[in-house]
């Protein structure tokens, strides 16, 4: 049965990006329906730190502050990183950023995915302007005959009409597929190994990243003094590393990191996820838009995936709000085009930049390694260049 009511916006997917968009729009006065197939597991302080963490940039923290959830997240378990240090295993030269150079208290924060999602979910549940449909699974979608709304059909036979439908249901977005939006994909033939490790020396509130031949290794500072690692390696090497006993893994990990923090003394269980590049061919359709991983998946070496997604939400919410203030149809094609034009170009540029860095630093060619080292040293010495990269990372 189709409800006669037409919601302003229906968002499919209540992950970090979808939930943030729902809150942002509801706080601006839009009537929002948030659709999710299953509720997230609650975050509890007594649980082990989630293996999946994100490096939140300043732009993302600004959004979470505006949504009145950042204080809760930061007070629960978040780790500021004040410095970032990048170096190449095959060549001299390094690049270092320091928050003090920007008169800031931190470059960003390392936070567990599950913590962010849990706090956003709780805020959604409390907000009177958001209707939460969970569990619910969309099986079809079409624009009404008059073009004024889009209907979502659910697995249980229910239907929902909304002036705008937003897909925020992740990299393998079912809704994107229902709308026939193609993607351009690249499989890196790599997996990112994640774990939390203890080490002999303090992490110094620093995010460390080392480039190795056909691998990238990041140590991200956690609030409890440990580091969260993301070790991106070829698939076969990932299988080998995952099969090692803990002691052997710690030794290899320490060596790969050049023992920058001394010996690795302990590790949690390890997990791994495939690495790929995926860019949607278009972000919009009739009464429809994509945000977050449904629109773009990038290499994790710069830790920018969720930050790009949060920037999508801000741009889309601003576009809709400004149109409504002018008494215009906020889901009209020209309004959505503005969102697509701004975010698709920025996301594509970021994705291809990360891709080029990954390709360039993966080579073990001595001449290329020398150029990489010289490039890092040059950026580190030239203040305007260094400031550009620091501001780009901060959003």
Give how far Cα 195 sits from Cα of 147, 219, 276, Å.
49, 10, 20
- Give residue 302's pLDDT: 60
Other CB atoms within 10 A of residue 360 CB: 14
Superfamily of domain 81-108+188-275+360-394: D-Amino Acid Oxidase, subunit A, domain 2 (3.30.9.10)
Q: How far apart are CA 288 and CA 141, in angstroms?
A: 10
- Give residue 167's pLDDT: 98
Other CB atoms within 10 A of residue 96 CB: 14
Query: Can you tell me whether residue 263 is helix, strand or coil?
Result: coil
* Cβ–Cβ under 8 Å, residues 182 and 168: no
β-pair partners for 210: 87, 217
* Cβ–Cβ under 8 Å, residues 310 and 257: no
- Give residue 1's pLDDT: 42
β-pair partners for 280: 183
- Give residue 356's pLDDT: 74
Q: What is the DSSP-derived secondary structure letter of residue 178?
A: H
Sequence spans of domains, the chain: 2-65+114-184+276-357, 81-108+188-275+360-394
Enter the tokens of residue 240: 């080998």
β-pair partners for 97: 84
Span between the terminal Cα atoms of the chain, in Å? 44
Give how far Cα 112 sits from Cα of 38, 47, 70, Å.
19, 12, 13
Q: How far apart are CA 134 and CA 364, in angstroms?
A: 49
3-state helix, strand, coil in the chain (%, to 5): 40, 30, 30
- Give residue 89's pLDDT: 81
- pLDDT one digit per residue (tens) for the chain, 395 residues: 445 689 999 999 999 999 999 999 999 999 999 999 999 999 999 999 999 999 999 999 999 999 999 999 999 999 999 999 988 887 777 788 898 887 888 999 999 999 999 999 999 999 999 999 999 999 999 999 899 999 999 999 999 999 999 999 999 999 999 999 999 999 999 999 999 999 999 999 999 999 888 899 999 999 999 999 999 999 999 999 999 999 999 999 999 999 999 999 999 999 999 999 999 999 999 999 999 999 999 988 766 789 999 999 999 999 999 999 999 999 999 999 999 999 999 999 888 887 777 766 665 666 665 666 666 555 556 565 556 665 655 55
- Give residue 299's pLDDT: 85
Is 3.30.300.30 the CATH number for 2-65+114-184+276-357? Answer: no
| 135 cis-preceded (ω within 30 degrees of 0) | yes
* Cβ–Cβ under 8 Å, residues 91 and 372: yes
Query: Can you tell me whether residue 369 is helix, strand or coil?
Result: helix
- Give residue 95's pLDDT: 83
């Amino acid at each position: 049965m189709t409800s006669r009511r037409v919601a302003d916006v229906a968002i499919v997917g209540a992950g970090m990006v979808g939930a943030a968009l729902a809150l942002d729009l509801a706080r601006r006065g839009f009537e929002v329906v948030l659709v999710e197939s299953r509720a997230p597991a609650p975050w509890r302080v007594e649980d082990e730190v989630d293996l999946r963490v994100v490096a939140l940039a300043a732009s993302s923290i600004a959004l979470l502050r505006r949504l009145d959830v950042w204080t809760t997240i930061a007070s629960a378990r978040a780790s500021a990183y004040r410095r970032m240090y990048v170096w190449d295993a095959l060549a001299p030269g390094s690049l270092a950023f320091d928050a003090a150079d920007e008169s800031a208290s931190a470059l960003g924060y390392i936070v567990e995915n599950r913590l962010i999602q849990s706090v956003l979910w709780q805020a959604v549940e409390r907000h009177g302007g958001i209707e939460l449909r969970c569990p619910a699974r969309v099986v079809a979608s079409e624009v009404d005959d008059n073009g004024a709304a889009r209907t979502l059909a659910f697995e249980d036979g229910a239907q929902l009409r909304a002036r705008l439908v937003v897909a925020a249901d992740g990299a393998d977005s079912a809704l994107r597929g229902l709308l026939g939006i193609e993607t351009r994909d690249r499989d890196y033939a790599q997996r990112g190994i994640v774990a939390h490790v203890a080490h002999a020396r303090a992490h110094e509130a620093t995010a460390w990243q080392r480039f190795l031949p056909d691998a990238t290794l990041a140590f991200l500072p956690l609030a409890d003094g440990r580091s969260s690692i993301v070790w991106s390696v070829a698939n076969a090497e990932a299988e080998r590393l995952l099969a090692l006993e803990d002691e052997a893994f710690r030794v290899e990990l320490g060596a790969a990191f050049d023992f920058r923090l001394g010996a690795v003394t302990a590790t949690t269980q390890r997990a791994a996820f495939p690495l790929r590049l995926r860019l949607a061919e278009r972000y919009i359709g009739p009464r429809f838009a994509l945000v977050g991983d449904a629109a773009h998946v990038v290499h994790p070496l710069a830790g920018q995936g969720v930050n790009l997604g949060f920037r999508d939400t801000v741009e889309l919410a601003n576009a809709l709000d400004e149109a409504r203030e002018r008494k215009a149809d906020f889901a009209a094609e020209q309004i959505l085009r503005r969102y697509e034009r701004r975010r698709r170009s920025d996301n594509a540029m970021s994705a291809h930049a990360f891709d080029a860095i990954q390709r360039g630093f993966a080579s073990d060619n001595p001449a290329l390694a020398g150029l990489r080292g010289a490039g890092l040293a040059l950026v580190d010495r030239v203040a305007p260049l260094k400031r550009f990269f620091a501001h780009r990372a901060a959003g």
